[in-house]
């Protein structure tokens, strides 16, 4: 027999191309589909097509993003001889079997029957995300890091660069500075923490977040989002001695979110906390004019909880018993014992935040003043272009800031193309 079931799960998103199943990509949903098939809850003839079983999720998480309490929903197979009163116990046994065939980084916490009208996405009222922010993000920014790059013909220049990704690199010595600060658990001053808290609260309420996602016009109604709260809820230290690392737990509760929105909000707040930008910078970014907003590393972000209060209250009254889609103890244990250590190890290995802070130091140029001047000219009708800002990755905004070794390579490439174009064709 088929029953519509909701499953509360947690996972580490590292190594996956996101939650939602996508042909040719390694996804988290595919792992859960395979596990459910192995324990007999998905028939062979339904494998490979989640639409056949009415599969849906509370919300998509992007590549590398994690979850502590994600909710999946589908019509799954149960033995016909399972009585309704024995169903909860049987489902908990199934949870244990599912975990036995899942990778250790993916866990199922709870499974329960839901009404036919339940949707993991549409029945949700709001969502809560948490960002584990390294305390070194509140360290004073280093103006001296804005020094010019080394000479393009310096053979040692390449060795001095730390590659962030295919298009961005920073000076290795600046990355080392922040990595060293993190050892033993950096303690930011109280004023920096207060600036961070004030900046986060600036996002609360309804705002236009078109600058906090991709390819979104301010006139698009989808850019209007309501943030119920954005707070620092505490500090956590992982490890001991020199290996200890300290983090601030940032929790944002909103009705819905757009791609990159949370990471860009975190980045804005960090710039204000480090005094690289005034508090009014957030007002500029939330305005209707285009503004450049940097994006914080994504590996420290995770979905913390999805809220179904109205559904739970309604079903509890109908069945005269408490119904909950949460499993707080199991989820919290996964967060503390599995997720947090993984995040710390990942950040230590890849130097995501150390390199990102070095990037902010080197790329930040009187951004607020430029945007304010641009907006003033635009209001006068004297500005027809668009200032993309110091974080733009387009070539025309990077030529003066390109690492020396990369600039030399680009010059060689351009010279070769010019010579090729000047050579007469054989035809």
pLDDT score, position 166? 72
Q: How many residues are recorded in the chain?
A: 427
Which tokens in the block code for residue 132?
């584990």
Q: Higher-confidence residue: 340 or 381?
A: 340
List 254's β-bridge partners, or say none.
Answer: 127, 227
pLDDT band, very low/low/confident/very high, at 415 (cuts 50, 70, 90): low
Answer whether residue 96 shows pLDDT above 50: yes
Evaluate if pTM is beyond 0.75: yes
Answer whether residue 150 shows pLDDT above 50: no
What percent of the chain has pLDDT above 70?
Answer: 81
Average pLDDT estimate for 369-386: 60
Distance CA 208, CA 291 (A): 12
| Residues 289-320 pLDDT 10s | 888 899 999 999 999 999 999 999 999 998 88
| Residues 22-47 pLDDT 10s | 989 999 999 999 999 999 999 999 99
Residue 396's Cα: distance from chain center in Å? 28
pLDDT score, position 371? 58
Q: Mean pLDDT over all residues of the chain? A: 85
What percent of the chain has pLDDT above 90?
Answer: 63
- Whether 137 and 270 have beta carbons less than 8 Å apart is answered as yes
First-to-last C-alpha distance (Å) of the chain: 73
| Residues 108-143 pLDDT 10s | 999 999 999 999 999 999 999 999 999 999 999 887
HSE, CB side, 13 Å, CA atoms: give it for residue 389.
Answer: 19
pLDDT score, position 410? 56
Distance CA 167, CA 200 (A): 29
Residue 302's Cα: distance from chain center in Å? 7
pLDDT score, position 397? 37
pLDDT score, position 323? 84
Neighbours of 376 (CB within 10 A): 11
Average pLDDT estimate for 313-339: 91
Q: Higher-confidence residue: 164 or 398?
A: 164
Average pLDDT estimate for 338-345: 93
List 40's β-bridge partners, or say none.
Answer: none
pLDDT score, position 44? 94
- Whether 331 and 66 have beta carbons less than 8 Å apart is answered as no
Distance CA 225, CA 208 (A): 7
Answer whether residue 151 shows pLDDT above 60: no
Q: Is 43 helix (H, G, I), strand (E, B) or coil?
A: coil
| Residues 186-219 pLDDT 10s | 999 999 999 999 999 999 999 999 999 998 999 9
pLDDT score, position 374? 60
| Residues 232-289 pLDDT 10s | 999 999 888 888 899 999 999 999 999 999 999 999 999 999 998 889 889 989 999 8
pLDDT score, position 321? 79
pLDDT score, position 167? 73
Distance CA 386, CA 374 (A): 8
Cα angle value 355/290/251 (rounded, 5°): 55
HSE, CB side, 13 Å, CA atoms: give it for residue 410.
Answer: 14
Answer whether residue 337 shows pLDDT above 70: yes
Q: Are strands 66-77 and 301-307 parallel, antiparallel or unpaired?
A: parallel
pLDDT band, very low/low/confident/very high, at 105 (cuts 50, 70, 90): very high
Q: Higher-confidence residue: 161 or 413?
A: 161
The 3-state secondary structure of 192-207, one letter per residue: HHHHHHHHHHCCCEEE
| Residues 171-194 pLDDT 10s | 899 999 999 999 989 999 999 999
CB-based burial label for 366 (10 Å; 0-12, 13-18, 19+): exposed
DSSP string of 330-381? HHHHHIIIIIHHHHHHHHHHH-HHHHHHHHHHHH--SHHHHHHHHHHHHHTT
- Whether 289 and 378 have beta carbons less than 8 Å apart is answered as yes
């Amino acid at each position: 027999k088929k029953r519509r079931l909701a499953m509360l799960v947690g996972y580490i998103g590292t190594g996956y191309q996101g939650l939602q199943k996508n042909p040719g990509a390694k996804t988290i949903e595919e792992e859960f589909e395979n596990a459910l098939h192995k324990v007999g809850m998905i028939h062979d003839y339904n494998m490979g097509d989640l639409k056949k079983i009415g599969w849906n999720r509370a919300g998509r998480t992007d590549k590398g993003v994690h979850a502590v309490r994600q909710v999946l929903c589908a019509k799954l197979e149960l033995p016909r001889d399972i009585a309704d009163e024995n169903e909860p116990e049987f489902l908990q046994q199934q949870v244990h079997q599912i975990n036995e065939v899942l990778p250790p980084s993916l866990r199922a916490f709870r499974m329960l029957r839901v009404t036919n009208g339940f949707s993991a996405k549409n029945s949700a009222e709001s969502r809560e995300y948490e960002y584990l922010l390294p305390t070194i993000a509140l360290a004073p920014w280093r103006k001296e890091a804005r020094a010019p790059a080394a000479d393009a013909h310096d053979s040692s220049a390449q060795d001095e660069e730390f590659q962030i990704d295919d298009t961005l690199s920073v000076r290795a010595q600046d990355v080392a500075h922040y990595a060293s600060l993190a050892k033993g658990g950096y303690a930011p001053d109280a004023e920096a923490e207060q600036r961070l808290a004030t900046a986060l609260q600036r996002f609360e309420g309804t705002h236009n977040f078109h600058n906090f996602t991709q390819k979104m016009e301010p006139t698009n109604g989808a850019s209007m989002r309501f943030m119920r709260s954005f707070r620092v809820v505490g500090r956590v230290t992982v490890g001991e001695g020199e290996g200890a690392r300290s983090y601030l737990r940032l929790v944002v509760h909103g009705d819905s979110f757009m791609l990159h929105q949370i990471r860009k909000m975190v980045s804005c707040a960090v710039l204000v906390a480090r005094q690289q930008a005034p508090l009014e910078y957030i007002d500029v970014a939330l305005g209707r004019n285009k503004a450049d907003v940097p994006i914080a590393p994504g590996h420290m972000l995770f979905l913390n909880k999805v809220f179904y209060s109205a559904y739970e209250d309604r079903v509890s009254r109908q069945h005269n018993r408490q119904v909950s889609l949460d499993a707080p103890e199991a989820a919290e244990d996964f967060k503390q014992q599995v997720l947090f250590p993984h995040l710390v190890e990942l950040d230590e290995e890849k130097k995501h935040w150390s390199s990102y802070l070095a990037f902010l130091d080197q790329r930040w140029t009187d951004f607020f003043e430029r945007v304010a001047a641009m907006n003033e000219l635009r209001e006068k009708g004297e500005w027809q272009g668009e200032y993309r800002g110091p974080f733009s990755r387009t070539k025309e905004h990077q030529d003066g800031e390109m690492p020396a070794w990369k600039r030399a390579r680009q010059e060689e490439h351009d010279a070769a193309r010019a010579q090729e174009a000047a050579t007469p064709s054989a035809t």
